[in-house]
Structure 1
């Protein structure tokens, strides 16, 4: 009888261990397209770890993690310019353990830049994953002279232009006007001077604007219909339109496309850090990264992944980004506290101007 009881007890222990193994989970806070179903299934099959995906954006990620003090998720994917300042203010992330990451899988220059931009007190808080740019989406037949942001104010495209009343428009116009807003990030007075000049330009440009777009789909429809012939938008939007109309494509502005990088970052109260590192190393494999590019439409920081990208997307990318345009990308640095308030006031004034 005693032996039988021990057997039952041992069996119960095995069942509990099996249940615990089955319950292992990675809670991922990310953007749409960054964790496609086929990649999640491959990861779950290889590791036995369930993946719970919550879709989000920068503002929502910060809000969710602030509300829990960095809890509720095991891995998040904020943009690299939204990590250092947020960490200094709210302390919602924990440093990356670089010894647990296969650094050889990353494009070296992108890894180095992101590490620099996400370092706080000597600790690295982010690694690069998905990157892309905003610039110009142009119908090259109807608006052949639009080569830079300020060309959206040309008489030749009056009434047929669109852009967002958001910070990328302020930044892009500043560069096109010969100023460097990023170099002024740590000098509020200098930054305000730049904003004042850009504000004046954008108010003067208002008659050219068909509409200030908010949703990407709405903008794409305006360009498809011919109501808008030139716009500020993301590279993927231009390439999507190019699939239907060869005359429309993404154009890297003369003054430089604006580059963003979405990262891997560990919430401070992650409960499955080991699973987070397994996910990072898994999705940075070139063939897996190419599947994410196919889903998200953007390229990744995975070294060699472009070799596995679909031919059409590769051709579109190379057409929009000759080497000099790639070298001229203006990567967003961390945003110092207070600047977004200044930008918000400038945007409000532009919107209200008659």
Structure 2
């Protein structure tokens, strides 16, 4: 994927800044250990923070919030800053995995849009602040579909047999199927969850793969014609492939807010808060969003006209109010998680993928 290769190249260039000689005479630089998705930040922003603060950023990546949770639940292996999804913040608070923030170190919190603060998963944002937001929707090759699509129904169309990819993530894949069936994506009703399970198994021959957040790559390479994927991930590959499109399904979909949080035992908590404050500068927030093509929660960046107009005026990135109203955040479903896990195991076994 060209955009990812560009990211890796720029990141490598930025990283060399941190490995240079310290202006203090060769003293070892402080290291900020970040755990985030790949290609989910502007490399120039990393290089700028390193240079301004004479620090090195160690940037490790995970595939989804479940992988993040699995890494942290047994204890912090050394990270200072993590980027959990909305519902995962609530789980991590409940399990004492993340620490309260010191807002005296984060005055740029004032730049955030109230629509993305004080959410139910973290009232008063005691433990987290929003980083980026977007939607889960349909990435597709318009040459293969021979026209635009706008429904989850396309993922079950026999004419795309062997050319459809779903997320290798129980909650998100079930959310899409549940909304297609007219159910709440946060349902705890076993019958509804099982109906979603059965629909996936019934259509197993249509499914090419369950992918760990790499559907955009398969789509770009022509291995699939449709994929369930994050909005910004599709828009990144669209920069290089004019045949690709992204659609928010008419039945509704998941809107997400990825967040910045500090895990228990972080060695550099104040430096992590400095980085959070840095990303909440309008100019930096815009630089990140313009690079990765997700929505910014930074109202000041929008008000100052810093967001690329092509993105800001794109209703698939910044949906109008009536579309936004049909979207839902994933919620922690508590004990019902076991129902999803069991159904997911049966889907994976039943599909043979």
TM range, normalised to the smaller chain?
0.7 to 0.9
Does the 8 A contact of 1:290 with 1:308 survive in 2? Answer: yes
Partner in structure 2 of residue 236 of structure 1: 232
Q: Larger radius of gyration, structure 1 or 2? A: 1
**Pairwise CA distance, 1:347:** 2.1
Partner in structure 1 of residue 19 of structure 2: none
Provide the rounded CA distance (Å) in 2 between the counterparts of 1:123 and 1:236.
Answer: 24
Provide the rounded CA distance (Å) in 1 between the counterparts of 2:30 and 2:162.
Answer: 56
Partner in structure 1 of residue 10 of structure 2: none
> What do you get for the CA RMSD once the two structures are aligned?
3.1
User: In 2 relative to 1, CA 53–350 (structure 1 residues): closer, same or farther, beyond 3 Å?
Assistant: closer
1:122-133 alignment, distance < 5 Å: 124-133=126-135
Provide the rounded CA distance (Å) in 2 between the counterparts of 1:153 and 1:291.
Answer: 38
Provide the rounded CA distance (Å) in 2 between the counterparts of 1:285 and 1:98.
Answer: 15
Partner in structure 2 of residue 112 of structure 1: 118
> In the alignment, does 2:102 pair up with 1:97?
yes
Does the 8 A contact of 2:156 with 2:203 survive in 1? Answer: yes
> In the alignment, does 2:62 pair up with 1:56?
yes
Does the 8 A contact of 1:224 with 1:241 survive in 2? Answer: no
Q: Secondary structure at the match of 2:255?
A: strand
**Pairwise CA distance, 1:44:** 3.1
User: In 2 relative to 1, CA 71–87 (structure 1 residues): closer, same or farther, beyond 3 Å?
Assistant: farther
Between 246-255 and 171-180, report the one with greater CA deviation: 246-255
User: In 2 relative to 1, CA 63–196 (structure 1 residues): closer, same or farther, beyond 3 Å?
Assistant: closer
Provide the rounded CA distance (Å) in 2 between the counterparts of 1:93 and 1:75.
Answer: 10
Partner in structure 1 of residue 156 of structure 2: 153
Does the 8 A contact of 2:141 with 2:219 survive in 1? Answer: no
Partner in structure 2 of residue 180 of structure 1: 184
What are the Cα deviations for residues 237-287 of structure 1, in whole angstroms up to 9, with x where unaligned? 432443344443110011223122221112222333322221111111121
Does the 8 A contact of 2:86 with 2:256 survive in 1? Answer: yes
> In the alignment, does 2:207 pair up with 1:200?
no
Partner in structure 2 of residue 255 of structure 1: 251
Q: Secondary structure at the match of 2:118?
A: helix
Structure with the larger helix share: 1
> In the alignment, does 2:305 pair up with 1:301?
no
User: In 2 relative to 1, CA 71–19 (structure 1 residues): closer, same or farther, beyond 3 Å?
Assistant: farther
Instruction: Specify every segment of 5 or more residues in structure 1 that has no aligned partner in the other structure, as ranges.
Output: 1-17
Q: TM-score, normalised by structure 1?
A: 0.77
1:279-298 alignment, distance < 5 Å: 279-298=275-294
**Pairwise CA distance, 1:212:** 1.5
